[in-house]
Amino acid sequence: MAEPFASTVSGNQHSRVTSRAKPGFLERLSETAGGMVVGLGLFALSFYVLFTNEGRALRTAASLDEGLSQVVSLDPYSALTPQYHNHLVHLSAKLRTAQALHDPNYRVALQAVKLKRHVEMYQWVEYQESRDYVEDGEQKSETTYTYNTEWKSEVINSRNFDKEIGHMNPSAMAVESVTVVAPEVWVGPFSLSKGFVEQINNFQTLSLVGLPLSHVDPFLTVDGDYFYHTPNPRRPEVGDVRVSFSYAGLSGEGTWPGPAQTVSIVGMQKGEQLMPFKTKSGVILEILYMEELTAEEVFEREHQHNTMKTWALRVGGWALMFLGVSLTVRIIYTLVDWVPILRELVSLGLKVFALCVSSSLSLLTIAAGWLYYRPLVAILIGALALLPILLARSRAPAKKHQ
């Protein structure tokens, strides 16, 4: 390989060109063989994704139907009802917490389920843009490196830059990001399990307008919704830090920054706590929405999410199978890529082959997943998967009758 050649365009941008001889036939064949191994792995993985997705979707749908048939809607303002102990219940009410969450470093206090401190540092960021081309019989690659200064929430290691001189970043932040969670959260007369609390993630930026800032550290500068560790927030330097706050699940009775959040919950009543409910199919129902919904609306939303997830995994499984087949048969293209006309025809043929095989096998795998639960539907899907083969055979000339 030839030595790389670097040409400086400006202080914050430069290019580097590397060149090597065009790979020979044996080298390309070796690379293609490695791709075949990866393709076979993706091909096997696609079967697993497609097959298990169908069973998961059917179990989830059956569990949601079971839950809707058993759920009892409770009045959030009434006393506890012992007769529904270990039963699946639904209620909509406002979130409650015992006390405000505090960040003593910035004197921020807010009554909510979660309070997040988000820290950013002004740092150098490297961007790369590459292009490959052939020149004088050599394979060349030109990479352009550009450096900008930006606010980033993670420390960027400048030692990995192509040109660190003049673009050095600090090795750590002076302040760390952190999320504080209320130890106990109630909805109506019930306390919520950890699983319900984890679902409260509707984070919104905390506006510093209206926040009493008279007692803020004099070494901090407040500008917009940020605390800046610099006296000149409009002209930051590398290493400067700024801090913002966000919250999820307002639970106070005051007017700032808003009223308590109303949530809708479906779970198992166990004493004074709402817990996850396990259906006969083994699916856990632990549902929380950040709005007021009836029990029927909650289960309808869950059915919609199940459908969307099912189709997303179907498309993802098909894409894995298509990529796997394409990589596996790529070696055929490598064997003929020295003939220009034949190369283009083979490339198109392999793409069509991968498309047909992945589509048919995906449908057959989905049909196999449905076979246990919906035999008739499985048969129909299997027939649809064989349709491309039947059409191809019907168009073939019947030589016996000619």
The string of pLDDT tens digits covering residues 64-109 is 999 999 999 998 887 677 888 999 999 999 999 998 999 988 888 8
- For the segment 296-303, the average pLDDT, to the nearest whole number, is 97
For residue 316, pLDDT over 60 is answered with yes
315: left (phi over 0), alpha (psi -120 to 50) or beta: alpha
Give me the pLDDT at residue 219, please: 77
26-30, 78-82, 289-293, 375-379: segment of lowest average pLDDT: 26-30
Q: Do 346 and 354 form a contact (C-beta atoms < 8 A)?
A: no
Count of H-run helices and E-run strands, the chain: 6, 20
Q: pLDDT grade, residue 6 (50/70/90)?
A: very low
**pLDDT at residue 392 is higher than 60:** no
| Phi, psi torsion values for 179, nearest 5 degrees | -125, 125
Tell me: pLDDT of 178 over 70. Answer: yes
Mean pLDDT taken over the chain? 84
Q: For position 226, what pLDDT does the model report?
A: 93
pLDDT tens figures, 162-175: 988 989 999 999 89
339-348: average pLDDT: 69
Answer whether 156's CB lies under 8 Å from 169's CB. Answer: yes
The yes-or-no verdict on residue 214 having pLDDT over 60 is no
- Residue 149, pLDDT above cutoff 60: yes
Q: What is the mean pLDDT of residues 293-303?
A: 97
pLDDT reading at 1 higher than 60: no
Note the pLDDT of residue 252.
Answer: 82
pTM listed for this prediction: 0.79
* Res. 401 pLDDT band, cuts 50 70 90: very low
Least confident of 103-107, 284-288, 328-332, 395-399: 395-399
Which residue, among 128, 130, 137, 129, has the nearest Cα to 20 in the 3D structure? 137
